[in-house]
Chains A and B, each alone.
Chain A
C-alpha cells in the first residue's frame, strides 16, 4: 500500500511527519514524503503522479480548516478519488468540520504511532 505524506502550508514542524514516515516504512508501507511548504496544488500534482492509496496531510500551524477546504476543492476539481487524512495540532472541535470537508480521519498530535499504523492497516484490509 502506497502512502503519500505531505506538508501543506507554511509551518516548518516536520519532526512528526518524518517520524511517521519512518514508522510506516518499517511497518511495510511504501512511503513518499513531499517535503515542507507545499501548496495544495503541488500536493495534488504529486498525488496524480504517484497514484498513492492514501494521502496524509501534516499541519501544525492552526490553518488546517483553510488548507483542508482547499484540499477538498482541488481533489474534486481534478476528479481524484484518493482518500486523505490529516494529522497535527488539531483541536477536538475541529475534528468534525474536517471530516465534513472530506478527511477520512484526523489525528491530533500526541496520537500514538501504533494507532496511526493500525488505522492504515485497516484501510489496507478494507481495500484489499
Chain B
C-alpha cells in the first residue's frame, strides 16, 4: 500500500466528528498538532505561570481535591446541629443553602413566600436566625460557604455582623459566598435589581472584603449555571471570564489594587459533556485566566493569576430515565474533574433529576469521589494528561475559541449590556432548544432516554413534604423579633442605608449596621428596591 492509498483510507469512510464547542476532531493527533498551537508546550510546568498544568507544583500529591456536598437544612436549629456534628467529626466547612424567599430578598411573612419558607434551605429573616444557626460554634475554626446571590450583600453583612458581635477579628475571618449576580440573569434567576445596580452591589462586597475581611472569598463566578442553561463549554468559560472581568474592572476603578482582591475570586464550573473536551476546557481556562489577570491587570502576585475552582455537578448530563446509569455518568464526570486539576469536587446525586437526594444517593456520590481518590491512582502525579497530543491540541484550540467568544461579547457592548438587553440569554435559550431537539430526535444519544431504553424506565417524581410547623415557627419568631427590637434604631439604620444608596456609597457598612439593629432581609432589600428599582426581564416571546 502506498502512502497515498493509506491517506485515502483514513479520510474517505470516516465520519466527521465535532465537539459541542464546534471544534472538529481529527482521527489522529501528533506532536506537531500540539506544538503548532503552543511552542512553549515542553516548558509548561504546574505551579508556574500560566498554570495550564495546575496552580500548585505538587497538586494532589500534596493534598487531594476537597470533596463537597451541597445540602440544605430547613431551620437555623437544624443547621446548628449539623455544624456541631461536622465539627465533632473533624470537618471544618459547611455549605449553607437558603430557602427561595431568603434568596429573593423576601421575608418569611411576605405573601410571595407562602409555601416556600424553609423548603429548599434555611430561612433567614434577621440576625437572630444567624445567632441561632451558629450558636456555640467557633467562627475562627470553620469556613461557611453561602449559596446566596440576589440578597448576598445582606447575608454577608449578617455573617460579618455576627463575627463582630461575638468579638472575632474580621481580618482573619474566612468563608465564601457565591454572590455572582450576573449569572443569575442567565440561569438560576434570583436577581432583584437592574443589572448595573446588581453589579455595583457585588463590587461593594469585593471592595469591602479586600479592605476589611481579606481572607474571605466574596465571589464565586459560576460558569456552571450558564452551562446548565444551555451554553456550550466555550461559552461557559467565555461568559464566566467576561463576568469576572466586569466585577474586576469595576473593583479596579474603585482603586483597589488587583493583587488585593484577584486571589479571593474563585470559579464554579460544570463537568458534564465530552470527556477530553471538558479536560481541555479547564486547562485552557486556567491558562487564559492567568494571562488576563497578569497581562490586562498587571498582577504581580502569582496567586492573583490562579484560577481556583470547584469543578462539579453535571446535572444537565444526567437522565431521569434509568437513574442508576447516572452513577456511572457521575463517575466519569468525577474523573474529568480530577484530571482537570480542580481544587474542589462535588457531584450531583443520581436521583437529583426527580427528587430531593436521598441519603443513600448522597452517600454514593461521596463514595464515587472517594473511590476515585483512593483506588484509581488518579492523584499520584500532577496533570497526568499533560503532553497528550490530543488534550494539548484541544487545550490550545479552546484558548483561542474562548478568546473569540469573549470578543463576541465585547462586540455586543460588553457582558453587562449583553445581559441587560437579553442577548446572552436569547443565544443560550436558542441553543438549549436546539440541544433538546437533537436529543428528542436522536441526533445526540442519551442511553436509557433515546437509545437502549425499556418501557419500565419511568421514575416517580417526589418531594419532601412541606414542613408547615417549621414555617409557622419561623413566622412566629419573625413577629417576635419585630416586636422586641428597637424600632427607632431600625428606622435610623434603614434611613442611613437609603442615603448611602442614593449617594452611591459602598453599602456594606450601612447594611452591617442595619442587620445589627435586627432589620430584616426583606426590609433592607425593600429600601434598595425603592432606590434602584427592579430588573425587568427582556421579553422574547410575545404575540405579534
Query: A residues bordering B, Cβ < 8 Å?
Result: 2, 5, 9-15, 18-19, 21-23, 25, 30-33, 35-37, 39, 50, 61-63, 66-67, 89-92, 108-110, 112-114
Residues of A within 8 A of B115 (CB): 9, 63, 66-67
Residues of B within 8 A of A9 (CB): 115-116
Q: What are 30 A-B interface contacts by the 8 Å CB criterion?
A: A5-B541, A10-B100, A10-B101, A10-B113, A11-B100, A12-B184, A12-B189, A15-B429, A19-B433, A19-B436, A21-B541, A22-B430, A22-B433, A25-B541, A30-B543, A32-B542, A33-B540, A35-B537, A36-B189, A37-B112, A50-B543, A61-B100, A61-B120, A63-B466, A66-B114, A89-B461, A90-B461, A108-B461, A109-B353, A113-B436
Measured in the bound complex, the distance between the Cα atoms of B544 and A21 in whole Å is 14
Task: Summarize B's interface: helix, strand, loop or mixed.
Answer: loop
Query: B residues bordering A, Cβ < 8 Å?
Result: 100-101, 103-104, 106, 111-116, 119-120, 184, 187-190, 228-230, 320-321, 353-354, 429-430, 432-433, 436-437, 440, 459-463, 466, 537, 539-544
Q: Give A125 Cβ to nearest chain B Cβ, in Å.
A: 21
Contact A2 B543 (CB under 8 A): yes
Please tell me which one of the listed residues B120, B229, B440, B537 contacts residue A36 in the complex, with CB atoms under 8 A apart: B537
Contact A32 B462 (CB under 8 A): no
Q: Give A118 Cβ to nearest chain B Cβ, in Å.
A: 13
Q: Give B12 Cβ to nearest chain A Cβ, in Å.
A: 36
Contact A15 B187 (CB under 8 A): yes
Measured in the bound complex, the distance between the Cα atoms of B430 and A110 in whole Å is 19
Measured in the bound complex, the distance between the Cα atoms of B490 and A2 in whole Å is 49
Measured in the bound complex, the distance between the Cα atoms of B106 and A91 in whole Å is 27
Contact B440 A32 (CB under 8 A): no
Contact B541 A33 (CB under 8 A): yes
Contact B116 A114 (CB under 8 A): no
Residues of A within 8 A of B440 (CB): 112-114
Q: Give B182 Cβ to nearest chain A Cβ, in Å.
A: 14
Contact status of A39 and B112, CB under 8 A, knowing A21-B541, A91-B463: yes
Measured in the bound complex, the distance between the Cα atoms of B229 and A53 in whole Å is 29
Q: Give A13 Cβ to nearest chain B Cβ, in Å.
A: 8
Measured in the bound complex, the distance between the Cα atoms of B189 and A32 in whole Å is 19
Contact A33 B539 (CB under 8 A): yes
Residues of B within 8 A of A110 (CB): 320-321, 353-354, 459
Measured in the bound complex, the distance between the Cα atoms of B120 and A50 in whole Å is 34
Residues of B within 8 A of A25 (CB): 541
Residues of B within 8 A of A112 (CB): 440
Q: Which residue of A lies closest to B230 (CB)?
A: A15
Please tell me which one of the listed residues A12, A14, A50, A62 contacts residue B463 in the complex, with CB atoms under 8 A apart: A62
Q: Which residue of B lies closest to A7 (CB)?
A: B189
Not counting A10-B113, A18-B540, A66-B114, a sample of 7 additional A-B residue pairs whose C-beta atoms are within 8 angstroms of each other reads: A10-B116, A15-B229, A37-B104, A39-B111, A90-B461, A113-B436, A113-B440
Measured in the bound complex, the distance between the Cα atoms of B462 and A108 in whole Å is 11
Please tell me which one of the listed residues A30, A91, A113 contacts residue B461 in the complex, with CB atoms under 8 A apart: A91
Measured in the bound complex, the distance between the Cα atoms of B100 and A66 in whole Å is 15
Measured in the bound complex, the distance between the Cα atoms of B459 and A92 in whole Å is 10
Q: Which residue of A lies closest to B459 (CB)?
A: A110
Residues of A within 8 A of B543 (CB): 2, 30-32, 50
Q: Which residue of A lies closest to B120 (CB)?
A: A61
Residues of A within 8 A of B432 (CB): 15, 18-19
Q: Which residue of A lies closest to B465 (CB)?
A: A62
Contact B433 A89 (CB under 8 A): no
Q: Give A79 Cβ to nearest chain B Cβ, in Å.
A: 22
Contact A92 B461 (CB under 8 A): yes
Contact A32 B104 (CB under 8 A): no
Q: Give A1 Cβ to nearest chain B Cβ, in Å.
A: 11
Contact B460 A18 (CB under 8 A): no
Measured in the bound complex, the distance between the Cα atoms of B111 and A33 in whole Å is 23
Residues of B within 8 A of A109 (CB): 320, 353-354, 461
Measured in the bound complex, the distance between the Cα atoms of B429 and A11 in whole Å is 17
Measured in the bound complex, the distance between the Cα atoms of B539 and A35 in whole Å is 7
Contact B462 A63 (CB under 8 A): no
Measured in the bound complex, the distance between the Cα atoms of B437 and A35 in whole Å is 22
Contact A91 B104 (CB under 8 A): no
Residues of A within 8 A of B106 (CB): 10
Measured in the bound complex, the distance between the Cα atoms of B119 and A2 in whole Å is 34
Q: Give B111 Cβ to nearest chain A Cβ, in Å.
A: 8
Measured in the bound complex, the distance between the Cα atoms of B353 and A109 in whole Å is 9
Residues of B within 8 A of A18 (CB): 429, 432-433, 540
